[in-house]
Amino acid sequence: MKLLIAVLLGASPFVLHLAIVWSSGPLTALFLAIIASGLLASMAPGRIPPWAIGLAAIAVGGLALADVGTATRIAGAWPILVYLAIAWAFGSTLLPGRTPLIERIARIVDHGDAMPKELVRYTRFLTWTWTVVPVTMALASVLLARFTSPTVWSLFTNVLSYIALAVLFFGEYPYRRWRYPDTPHTNPFAVAVRLARSVPELFGGQERHSG
């Protein structure tokens, strides 16, 4: 069930893009049903039975089909909320007294208390990057929604922006290996798996590391 939801969530931006391009109420309903199931599964991992998640997804899909106009507006706002949530997840850790999120990730995955100072500076810069880029995407999405066609807006918001984030995530790895060749660097796929298992550890505390 977890794998199915993960796959559906990964495909959801493309589902929404097709829903907008084709003006499809059923695809819009499917998109919202996927998001609802993902939110439920993430709110209480392992505590909500699969049948309850399935029923909730069906209910949300049914409501969306009953009022396609409202469903389309909600679905259209969702990607912008995702960008802003990503920016907040990273940006809030740059506040005084907190450890930048990517520094926390690097310590958990590779370095522990022995993280080199130059990597501390680099991970702070990278955390800033992951704050600014999603905010920029959200702003661009709002402007495109105002001044371009739904198809152009959706192509940027639901396809190109996610591709750009993937390029940033995976493309940063070879640069880091080149820039800091004498320190260990876990590949992005292994990092993603580790992060999926370390969410409580990652967000459980934000005090500044003294090492």
Maximum distance among all alpha carbons in the chain? 59
- The verdict on 45 and 97 lying in the same domain is no
Q: Are residues 92 and 188 in the same domain?
A: yes
The pLDDT mean for the chain works out to 87
Residue 89 sits in the same domain as residue 60: no
Which residue do the tokens 């969410």 mark?
199
Percent of the chain with pLDDT over 90: 58
* Domain presence at residue 73: no
Same domain, yes or no, for 95 and 58?
Answer: no
pLDDT at position 140? 97
Same domain, 123 and 32: no
Q: Say yes or no to pLDDT of 1 above 60.
A: no
> Half-sphere exposure of 162 toward its Cβ, with a 13 Å CA cutoff?
16
The confidence band for 189, taking pLDDT boundaries of 50, 70 and 90, is confident
Local structure of residue 128 (DSSP, 8 states): H
Asked whether residue 141 is assigned to any structural domain, the reply reads yes
Distance CA 163, CA 170 (A): 10
Residue 158 clears pLDDT 90, i.e. is over it: yes
Residue 18 is part of which domain span?
Answer: 1-66
- Of 34-38, 50-54, 186-190, 194-198, the range with the lowest mean pLDDT is 194-198
Both 117 and 159 in a single domain?
Answer: yes
- CA dist 113 and 124 (Å) reads 16
In a domain, 1, yes or no: yes
Q: Select from 134, 138, 154 the least CA-distant residue to 28.
A: 154
Mean pLDDT, residues 68-87: 95
Cα–Cα dist 123/24, whole Å = 42
Instruction: Tell me, yes or no, whether 207 and 113 share the same domain.
Output: yes
Segment 70-97 shows an average pLDDT of: 95
Task: Check whether 7 has a pLDDT greater than 80.
Answer: no
**Quick one: 91 and 41 in the same domain?**
no
Q: How many domains does the chain have?
A: 2
